[in-house]
Amino acid sequence: MDPITLIRDPSQRGAYEFLPGEFRGKFWNSGSVYLEEVTFVLISNPILRHVPDVDYLGTTLIQRPVWERIIEDLEALAIRVSQAANLSELDGALGFFRSLLGDSKEEKEFQKDFSINAKALVAVIGELVAWLRETLKTNASVSILGV
């Protein structure tokens, strides 16, 4: 399984960029943070609950009030993950890209090292939430760019 991390260095270029404000034609911005595809999909349910039409290959602009609801759901997800003893206790709360294709490989890999993966995921959610809160103090929106 790919490392579950929040990428802050634009030279590492994760598959999804979280960009302060509106996209202006430049990918990999210095003020952005990034997630690899597997990590993005793991935490995508709270985002999709509020923005069901996320463009996985383009730009999705999300306004502050919607992000505030997403942040609440991300925090609830982090609590749930931190309290779970195994993947089955999360009952579909996490997204797995390959599951959409009928392949449970990612789920098996996540379960294999559940404690380590869960801890890393909780940390990523915490970092992303902190970044979002700080960014939304000075920006009315944050865009998600599928790059």
Asked if residue 93 is part of any domain, the answer here is yes
Domain coverage including residue 78? 16-146
Mean of the pLDDT values across residues 99-104? Answer: 56
pLDDT digits (tens, 9 = 90+) for 59-92: 999 999 999 999 999 999 999 999 999 999 998 8
SS3 assignment, position 33:
strand
Asked if residue 77 is part of any domain, the answer here is yes
Mean of the pLDDT values across residues 122-131? Answer: 98
Q: How many domains does the chain have?
A: 1
Q: What pTM did the predictor assign?
A: 0.90
SS3 assignment, position 18:
strand
Asked if residue 4 is part of any domain, the answer here is no
> Residue 132 in contact with residue 142, Cβ under 8 Å?
yes
Asked if residue 64 is part of any domain, the answer here is yes
> Residue 81 in contact with residue 118, Cβ under 8 Å?
yes
Asked if residue 40 is part of any domain, the answer here is yes
Confidence check: pLDDT of 1 > 90:
no
Asked if residue 6 is part of any domain, the answer here is no
Asked if residue 5 is part of any domain, the answer here is no
